[in-house]
């Protein structure tokens, strides 16, 4: 397990813009996609490649291609959808496995209300996407769902996380890698990340 806070200047600049309170829905959405693209670049740097020969303009040429079964992107509804296009820009042939969870108000545990996973999960690398890693409850439930489906290689991509949420995942699933643009300070009493981005779902969908 590794936690990568990706300090690339482009990511930090774009995330800085996203923190501004007066951003339009369009701007927030575009920036979420752009940061997702850059996080995808980082999170896929250890994908295995193999050498193949293709016909080039001057004859046969050796090139690299990504080896083996491919990737599935796993947006957690609904805010995760705001990062999906950015990831798919980088990996256009990735399959999408959608997960929806709600919180049982009595047990406070996440309950799955939607699960449509790609086929062949045993052989795929799963990239879970959600803008905010707060308590880690939804992420835990999603990881468990993916592992139950046989998935053996899981990474999570987030715009902002808090240490407590990360620690919860590390303790339960030390094999899962986390890529995040910023590890912020803490959760407030209503479960929002500080300084954070506010309600990422509302900002992406233009709701209140």
What residues form the annotated binding site? 78, 103, 130-138, 193, 198-200
The site map against ligand URA for 70-89 (x = CB under 6 A) is: ---------x----------
| Least Cβ distance, residue 111 to ligand URA (angstroms) | 17
Which tokens go with 138?
A: 């939804």
Which tokens go with 190?
A: 């209503």
Distances (CA, A) of 152 to 44, 126, 167, 201: 15, 8, 20, 29
Is 125 a catalytic site residue?
Answer: no
Q: Of 103, 153, 168, 177, which residue is the catalytic one? A: 103
Which CB atom, from 148 or from 186, has the smaller least distance to ligand URA? 186
Cα 42 to Cα 44: distance, rounded to the nearest angstrom: 6
> Which distant-in-sequence residues (6+ apart) come within 8 Å of 72 by Cβ?
94, 95, 96, 97, 117, 118, 121, 124, 125, 126, 127
Q: Per rule CB under 6 A, is residue 140 in the interface with ligand URA?
A: no
Pick the stretch among 4-12, 141-149, 173-181, 185-193 that binds ligand URA (CB under 6 A).
Answer: 185-193
- 131: closest CA among 148, 156, 108? 156
Cα 137 to Cα 76: distance, rounded to the nearest angstrom: 12
Q: Per rule CB under 6 A, is residue 199 in the interface with ligand URA?
A: yes
| Least Cβ distance, residue 194 to ligand URA (angstroms) | 8
Pick the stretch among 2-10, 57-65, 166-174, 197-205 that binds ligand URA (CB under 6 A).
Answer: 197-205
Contact residues toward ligand URA (CB under 6 A) are 79, 132, 134, 191-193, 196, 199-201
């Amino acid at each position: 397990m590794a936690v990568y806070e990706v300090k690339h200047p482009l990511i930090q600049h774009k995330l800085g813009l996203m923190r501004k309170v007066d951003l339009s829905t369009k701007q927030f959405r575009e920036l979420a996609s752009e940061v997702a693209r850059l996080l995808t670049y980082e999170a896929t740097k250890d994908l295995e490649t193999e050498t193949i020969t293709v016909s080039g303009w001057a004859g046969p040429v050796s090139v690299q291609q990504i080896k083996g079964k491919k990737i599935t992107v796993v947006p957690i509804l609904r805010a995760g959808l705001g990062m999906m296009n950015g990831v798919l820009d980088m990996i256009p042939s990735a399959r999408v496995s959608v997960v929806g969870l709600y919180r049982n108000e009595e047990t406070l545990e996440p309950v799955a209300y939607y699960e449509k996973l790609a086929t062949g999960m045993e052989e795929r690398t799963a990239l879970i996407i959600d803008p905010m890693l707060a308590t880690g409850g939804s992420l835990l439930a999603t990881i468990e769902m993916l592992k139950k489906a046989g998935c053996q290689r899981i990474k999570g991509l987030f715009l902002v996380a808090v240490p407590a949420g990360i620690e919860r995942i590390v303790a339960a699933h030390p094999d899962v890698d986390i890529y995040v643009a910023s590890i912020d300070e803490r959760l407030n009493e209503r479960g929002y990340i500080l300084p954070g981005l506010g309600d990422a779902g509302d900002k992406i969908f233009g709701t209140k």
